[in-house]
């Protein structure tokens, strides 16, 4: 499909995180910026204030590796599916540009679709820094076998909750199990994204 640029030769581009699904930023691109993005694999945009093409992160190091470019049904907007290399897309230092609610101040909640990957970020930081008074750090120091033991215990408790059919109990026990699962994956240097990619490949091939 041909891109429908506006009368200034621009098209809006949403940068969406390929890993978490969150919207990182909104910018504009002209034909040349899109061509540079395709050619280099890194996000390029057109600055309306500076009247020039710019590569995201060229000075800050906050590069956006573009995994895929999508176009909307009318052809007048694009989505760059990006891997945000240093995890802070906004010039303010926030992880994305949409960190404020319209009437309620700064966004504090994590949306359901990004929860596992955001949990993984926290766990990986705990593994790296091993802060005092951190339950995750305590488990890491106790070793992989202890982590796997806890995962097994929570898996059994989740099965019991599912058997009992109590919704609140199910939510609590499965949430605990998922925490230990992500921790076990992290100590085995396997990411949630890699698991999701495996499931994605299965869906593309018809699934089970």
**Do 68 and 142 sit in the same domain of this protein?**
no
Q: What is the C-alpha R_g of the chain?
A: 21
Instruction: Inform me whether the pLDDT recorded for 207 exceeds 80.
Output: no
| C-beta separation of 52 from 46 below 8 A | yes
In this prediction, residue 104 has a pLDDT band, given cuts at 50, 70 and 90, of confident
Instruction: Inform me whether the pLDDT recorded for 208 exceeds 80.
Output: no
| Position 62 in a domain | yes
In this prediction, residue 1 has a pLDDT band, given cuts at 50, 70 and 90, of low
Q: Say what the pLDDT of residue 206 is.
A: 79
CATH of the domain at 17: 3.10.20.810
Q: Say what the pLDDT of residue 103 is.
A: 87
| Position 163 in a domain | yes
**Do 119 and 193 sit in the same domain of this protein?**
yes
Last residue of a domain, one of 86, 104, 133: 86
CATH of the domain at 161: 1.10.287.1080
Instruction: Inform me whether the pLDDT recorded for 196 exceeds 90.
Output: yes
**Predicted TM-score of the model (pTM):** 0.87
Beta sheet of 11-17, edge-to-edge order: 23-29, 11-17, 78-84, 64-71
**Do 67 and 150 sit in the same domain of this protein?**
no
Residues 6+ apart with CB under 8 A from 75: 1, 2, 3, 4
> Average pLDDT for residues 176-185, to the nearest whole number?
98
201 by DSSP, 3-state: which? Answer: helix
> Average pLDDT for residues 151-176, to the nearest whole number?
98
**Do 25 and 70 sit in the same domain of this protein?**
yes
| Position 59 in a domain | yes
Residue with more model confidence, 105 or 5: 5
| Position 144 in a domain | yes
Helices H / strands E in the chain, number of each: 6, 8
Could you give the C-alpha distances from 197 to 109, 118, 193, in angstroms and in order?
A: 25, 17, 6
Could you report the per-residue pLDDT of 35-86, keeping only the tens digit for each?
999 999 999 999 999 999 999 999 999 999 999 999 999 999 999 999 999 9
| C-beta separation of 84 from 64 below 8 A | yes
> Average pLDDT for residues 173-182, to the nearest whole number?
98
Instruction: Look up residue 176 and give its two tokens.
Output: 């605990």
Instruction: Inform me whether the pLDDT recorded for 13 exceeds 70.
Output: yes
Domain that holds residue 185: 112-204
For the chain, the domain total comes to 2
Residue with more model confidence, 208 or 37: 37
**Do 73 and 122 sit in the same domain of this protein?**
no
């Amino acid at each position: 499909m041909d891109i429908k640029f506006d009368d200034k030769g621009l098209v809006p581009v949403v940068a969406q995180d390929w890993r978490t699904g969150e919207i990182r930023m909104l910018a504009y691109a002209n034909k040349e910026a899109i061509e540079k993005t395709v050619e280099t694999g890194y996000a390029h945009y057109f600055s309306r204030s500076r009247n020039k093409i710019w590569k995201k992160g060229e000075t800050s190091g906050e590069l956006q590796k573009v995994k895929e470019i999508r176009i909307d049904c009318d052809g007048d907007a694009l989505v760059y599916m990006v891997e945000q290399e240093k995890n802070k897309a906004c010039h303010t230092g926030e992880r994305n540009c949409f960190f404020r609610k319209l009437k309620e101040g700064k966004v504090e909640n994590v949306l359901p679709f990004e929860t596992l990957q955001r949990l993984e970020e926290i766990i990986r930081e705990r593994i790296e820094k091993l802060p005092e008074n951190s339950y995750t750090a305590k488990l890491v120091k106790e070793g992989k076998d202890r982590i796997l033991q806890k995962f097994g215990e929570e898996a059994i408790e989740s099965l019991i909750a599912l058997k009992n059919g109590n919704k609140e109990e199910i939510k609590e026990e499965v949430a605990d199990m998922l925490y230990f699962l992500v921790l076990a994956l992290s100590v085995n240097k396997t990411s949630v994204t890699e698991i999701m990619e495996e499931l994605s490949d299965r869906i593309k091939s018809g699934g089970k």
